[in-house]
Structure 1
Amino acid sequence: MPQLPQELIDAIIEDVPGSSLKACSLAATAFVTSSQRRLFCWMSLSDIPSYERTAILLASSPHLAKYFHFLALDIKVIPTEFVLLKLILAQLTELEHLSIIGDVMFGWNQLERNPCLIDILSLPTLTAFAVKDLGDVPSALISRALASFEQVVLSSVNIVDEEQDTEDWSSPGNLWHLVVVLDYDEMNAITSWALDAKRLQLLRQIKRLSLMSPAFPKLLFPQLIKLLSASSSTLQHLEIELNAPPPALPTLPSLTVLDLILDVEVAKNPARFNSILSDTVASMPHLEVLTIALLDAPLNGTARPQWTSHRPGQWADLDSTLTDLPNLREANLSLRNFGSEPQRYAVFVQYMQAHLPRAFDAGLIKFSSDFCFLHPMDRFARMFYPRVLVELKLRIIIYFLPVPTTDLSQLENL
């Protein structure tokens, strides 16, 4: 085939579906590099065989290591001082995003069982770090992550405050996006450093903050206020899950985007819905884009009740809250479902159009539907990958972790 510029080849491969990349790489020698770059950009190691296949792959084709940019590791399945993990990580010199999932029930620091996991945090190319279900993580390590990386996710992490943590964290680093996910037991990934004024300095330049919990515990509201106060001058995008009106929030003059996540049953109570929304946006004088994501998950394994009609007058206050926001140019109402009842979305749209007529007629409202549970690494992609429309996360979030990666057992010919 005629020699094409590499830029054109790269553009062609970008439009090839992931399922066809292997076949594409076999179609022409010129396609191999571009195909491999996409095939191995994301890698998820979730069991011992996947670690073994990856180690064999990198041993036979070491040039592929430079294509690994997003790596998700499940470490609860691996032994202490796991040699294959050490061999794999030693080759990943271009890694940008790392996520680690463990088992929060373990009563020890799982990262220390394999020191290579801590060593790789010093990799110069690494900019994003996510951890989930880890027990007894030293506070110094979390503080180091906040000081070192641009984006950090803490999901159900039990942080142990260390008296010997004498590092000076008074200077903000490069952190601009922080996600904190609490589990049902209110595992407290916030208080261990939110109560410490020196660590709050790490958040002075944050632009995006996501605070997620099945029910944001009231005991953490003081820490929420501290977090928002620390970043109030720079915070532009806030994502928070609430099922009750928050306390008075500090003024957030730079905030232009709010993602408010509610249980769908809360949204069916117009007075409560309006109270949560109005109390939340009261501190956001320059809010421009509002996304209200309604979690339409089954209740105890059974389907949600159908949307039923209310008198539109009951929704007048909520309608006014939306239309009276001075700078609001877009309100997205997103129904987050499990994909099992697609007809509920059409009913949801009709319901909201009927009960929020002023906002709808003003052209503010847009509707969307999404799955409550995406593949875990898809969440990681949506959060970290700039070319992907970010429409974040839902309950029991695993923002990072396994992407639907290529099955290594099918790549012998590459």
Structure 2
Amino acid sequence: MSPLPQELFDAIIDQVRDKETLKACALVATPFLPPSQRNLFRKIRLGGLRSGRDTPVFLAGFPHLVSYIRDLIIYQDTAWNSVAVGVVLRSARNIESLVFLGRALDWSHLGYEASSALLECLLRPSLQRLDLTHMKSVPTALISVATAIPVVSFFNVRMDVRKAISEQLHTSAPAPRLRHLILNDTGFAVHLICNFLLHPRKPAYTQQIERLEIYIDHHSASYDELIMAACAATLKYLAVNTEDIIRLPLLPSVLEVEMKVFVGENRRLPAFFSQNISQIASSLPLAETLTLVFILEPGWIPEIEWPEEGSLPIFGPSFMDRTQLLHLRRVHCILCRDTALGDMSAVFDRFVPAMESKMPGLRDRGILKCTLADLP
């Protein structure tokens, strides 16, 4: 029997981040095994090239290992085993984050065991985040259950439209807990999800949302405006990924706003950039922080010059006499690069004075900050 308490071994092993070290620790002695396994299996990928084809089957045979899972990433690959995945999902009782990456296949292709277990998993109180990607014919029951999760992200998710929404209302749907909604899609896919969330006979899915991230282009068909207006009373943070002019309703509670801007070969800001800034200024009266993320399109050859195109009216020399954005305390300009483009220091050296020339009213006031970051 060890003279040291188990809690001490647990505390030491919990500081280890390297997986190979954790594997070695698991072989040292019996007191090292549980904390090592707990950290090894905290984040698991099922499917995909990294995990091997037999991972779901292996885990299904060891329920105590599954109980350690907090972050679960599932890839629907060619070695899909619906029964084994279903067993893992039902056994992961303490899961906190679930990422489900489909293959643009129908929901029915998951198999009954996996699809039913997924719906059950989404009801767990411990689950704090769901990322659902590339899936067709998703039942409305899943979207309804997902609103009971605090953070939800949908990308290329298409709901089942074979039945009218009014025929699929669920009186037993869980109480909404949705606080952070991410809609990284446009066109028909986001149209269906927004229709569901805003249906007048549904529970108030959007009335507690505090953080909203949306993609806006000419295919959005004004659904972006509807979803923003629906959560205007509670919204504190807004992020827009845009390739077009944005139209914002009045958002009186937003304190932080982020706008992503794509810049191409000539490093010229889009023609709608200035208009979008004006929209933000007129629609977000309490905004304190404005983050502008400039994303260099991957594949372009880096250039030295960053053309100057005149200052933004709201941030001109008369900024201190403004009647809008009275609470603004920080404007953060981030130049995002693809690491494949190599050294971007020369481009960043031109980026900083270009931003200062666009916002001369912020210069030397401690408001404007420029940084260089890698694409996530």
Residue among 54, 57, 60 paired with 1:55: 57
Relative to structure 1, the CA distance from residue 166 to residue 199 in structure 2 (aligned partners, 3 Å threshold; closer, same or farther) is closer
Q: How does 1:151-230 map to 2 (within 5 A)?
A: 151-161=151-161, 162-163=163-164, 164-168=167-171, 173-182=176-185, 188-194=191-197, 196-199=199-202, 201-212=204-215, 216-230=216-230
**Is 2:179–2:209's contact at 8 Å kept on the other side of the alignment?**
yes
**1 CA distance for matches of 2:173 and 2:86?**
33
**1 CA distance for matches of 2:93 and 2:72?**
12
Query: Following TM superposition, by how much is the alpha carbon of 1:285 offset from its aligned partner in structure 2, in angstroms?
Result: 1.1
**2 CA distance for matches of 1:349 and 1:26?**
51
- In structure 1, what is the equivalent of residue 46 of structure 2? 45
**Is 1:175–1:206's contact at 8 Å kept on the other side of the alignment?**
yes
Relative to structure 1, the CA distance from residue 10 to residue 27 in structure 2 (aligned partners, 3 Å threshold; closer, same or farther) is same
Query: Following TM superposition, by how much is the alpha carbon of 1:15 offset from its aligned partner in structure 2, in angstroms?
Result: 5.9
**2 CA distance for matches of 1:346 and 1:18?**
38
**Is 1:170–1:201's contact at 8 Å kept on the other side of the alignment?**
no
Amino acid at match of 1:239: A
**1 CA distance for matches of 2:52 and 2:281?**
46
- In structure 2, what is the equivalent of residue 291 of structure 1? 291
**1:245-285 CA-partner distances (Å, limit 9, x unpaired):** 212x2221221111111112497338632221221232111
- 2:249 corresponds to 1:250: yes
- Number of equivalent positions: 361
**Is 1:159–1:192's contact at 8 Å kept on the other side of the alignment?**
no
Query: Following TM superposition, by how much is the alpha carbon of 1:296 offset from its aligned partner in structure 2, in angstroms?
Result: 0.9
**Corresponding residue SS for 1:263:** strand
Q: How does 1:81-160 map to 2 (within 5 A)?
A: 82-104=82-104, 106-107=105-106, 109-111=108-110, 113=112, 114=114, 115-146=116-147, 148-160=148-160
Query: Following TM superposition, by how much is the alpha carbon of 1:318 offset from its aligned partner in structure 2, in angstroms?
Result: 5.8
Query: Following TM superposition, by how much is the alpha carbon of 1:288 offset from its aligned partner in structure 2, in angstroms?
Result: 1.3
**1:363-387 CA-partner distances (Å, limit 9, x unpaired):** 1122333332x4xxxxxxxxxxxxx
**Is 2:135–2:156's contact at 8 Å kept on the other side of the alignment?**
yes
**Is 1:153–1:180's contact at 8 Å kept on the other side of the alignment?**
yes
**1:211-238 CA-partner distances (Å, limit 9, x unpaired):** 13xxx23352522222111111111111
Identify unmatched segments of 5+ residues in structure 2. none
Identify unmatched segments of 5+ residues in structure 1. 375-414
**Is 2:47–2:79's contact at 8 Å kept on the other side of the alignment?**
no
Query: Following TM superposition, by how much is the alpha carbon of 1:172 offset from its aligned partner in structure 2, in angstroms?
Result: 5.8
**Corresponding residue SS for 2:52:** helix
Q: How does 1:257-276 map to 2 (within 5 A)?
A: 257-265=256-264, 268-269=268-269, 272-276=272-276
> What is the TM-score when the length of structure 1 is the normalising length?
0.75
**2 CA distance for matches of 1:262 and 1:98?**
29
Query: Following TM superposition, by how much is the alpha carbon of 1:316 offset from its aligned partner in structure 2, in angstroms?
Result: 4.7
Structure label with greater radius of gyration: 2
Amino acid at match of 2:55: R
**1 CA distance for matches of 2:131 and 2:306?**
40
